[in-house]
Amino acid sequence: MTMASRVTALALRTYPSWWRERYQDEMVVVIQSLLDDGRSPLGVAVNLIASSLRARLAGAGAPASREFWVHRTQRSLLVATIPWFAIVPMAVTFYLSNSFYGSFHGLLPPQLSRAGMLARDFQEGMLYVILAYVVIALVGWRRLRHGLEGQPLQMRWFRLVNGAAMVGITLVISALFLGQHNSTSMLAEVCAYIGLGLFVISWFSLPAVVTQMLRDGELAVAFLRTEVRLSTALACLSGVLTLLAVGNRVALSLQPTPLPGAGYWMYRSSLDAWYLPLLIGFLLLTIISALGAHAARRSYTRTLIV
Amino acid sequence: MAVKGWHRAQDPALLVLTSLAAGPMHGYALISDIEEIAGVVLGPGTLYGVLARLEQDGLVEALPADDRRRPYRITGAGAAALRERLLATSAVASVGLRRLGIAPT
């Protein structure tokens, strides 16, 4: 096998399995003829990869069976919603990294500049978006469980993760309560660490549980419709979060430099070098979520037709 | 018959249907023919994406494979859609050319 054939064979593997089953054999013959004609293997590979993405999104040429499209919608829903589990901690980190600092000379504290106020508004906006995000995700979770009720699913992992999260939250609340009475309480510290640990473990295990539920179960049309709408809302909110993060950073950088010896009141972020990786993360997750929501909407429409 | 995406100029779907109007063809023959009639070089991914969509819309159909080469042919609905599209394009082209002072050939 030549290098060119290997590259195009790899590109062909990016197509979904149903596509390969139907078109791969004839495509291989066409690709080979084009390569023999002197077409660039890289150009052919790029064309194949772009078209495979379109095939995944549009699902043209896929089997016209209702079961196939229901499962495709559910898989797309997963792609649209799984980034949520990473975006929320990232947004919380971003939110908590902003704080005030300043230097006072005289009786009245200096005013925050307009850019500083804007940065603060963007940061506060993030909090509202995170809250909206959590509410939408909880509604989606409730509908998902309701939609899969009565189906023979393996719920053992779900119960375990759910239980760990509940115990974690209870321990953290207990730690806060104990700490209020005795700020050096060893018990409070242990409760806080174990509680947080359990919560984090269950948070990052939940995507696997949701994946299993959506892979093994089958949602009715009414539930699919709600989940598709919610996933679209989550993808839009991810985009809003990304814009707020960019706006916050731009506003922070536009704050005037304090004059030597004068008092100042500024807004700052402690992210420093972590800002760029975090922003790239936001962007990538938003794109993945938007593509998933788009594919889910298209697949849901096909579910109604077939 | 209204088909999605038919408004674009040099629409690959229009080119594929025009090419298949000459008779059944397999993938490589389609690419060569389209390059010859329109000067457009279609990639294999683009071609099969269009064929899948046209097949799904019932505008083309696949014939039995001949040594891994599967020919496609235009259906009755495909011919009607192509005729409608070409007549509309040619009407616009005639008016455009007349207004530009060029006699339609």
**CB A29 to CB B43 under 8 A?**
no
Residues of A in contact with B44 (CB under 8 A): 27, 30-31, 34, 44, 47-48
Give dist(CA B9, CA A161) in Å, integer: 54
Task: Extract the tokens encoding A89.
Answer: 């901690």
**CB B52 to CB A55 under 8 A?**
yes
Query: Does residue A133 sit in helix, strand or coil?
Result: helix
Report, as an integer, the average pLDDT of A125-148. 88
Q: What is the pLDDT of residue B7?
A: 47
pLDDT in tens, B82-102: 999 999 999 998 999 899 988
Report, as an integer, the average pLDDT of A116-122. 91
**CB B31 to CB A34 under 8 A?**
yes
Q: Pick the residue from chain A with its C-alpha nearest to B50.
A: A60
Q: What is the pLDDT of residue A7?
A: 86
> What values do phi and psi take at A147, rounded to 5?
-65, -25
**CB A27 to CB B48 under 8 A?**
yes
Report, as an integer, the average pLDDT of A184-207. 89
Work out the percent of chain A whose per-residue pLDDT is above 90. 37
What's the longest Cα–Cα distance across chain A?
Answer: 83
pLDDT at A17 over 60: yes
The answer to which of A81-85, A252-256, B6-10 has the lowest mean pLDDT is B6-10
Query: Does residue B73 sit in helix, strand or coil?
Result: strand
In this complex, the residue of A30, A54, A60 whose CB is nearest that of residue B28 is A30
Residues composing chain A = 306
A266 DSSP β-pair partners: A101
Give the best residue of B32, B46, B48 to mutate against chain A (max A CB count within 10 A): B48
Ranked by mean pLDDT, which of A17-21, A286-290, B9-13 comes out on top? Answer: A286-290
pLDDT in tens, B37-86: 988 899 999 999 999 999 988 999 999 987 788 999 999 999 999 999 99
Q: Pick the residue from chain B with its C-alpha nearest to A55.
A: B49
Q: What is the pLDDT of residue A185?
A: 79
How confident is residue A104, by pLDDT bands cut at 50, 70 and 90? confident
> What values do phi and psi take at A257, rounded to 5?
-75, 130
- Cβ atoms A81, A292 nearer than 8 A: yes
Task: Extract the tokens encoding A131.
Answer: 């809250």
pLDDT in tens, B4-40: 554 445 789 999 999 999 999 999 999 999 999 988 8
Quick check: B52 contacting A, CB < 8 Å?
yes
Q: Whole-model pTM above 0.80?
A: no
Q: What is the pLDDT of residue A105?
A: 73
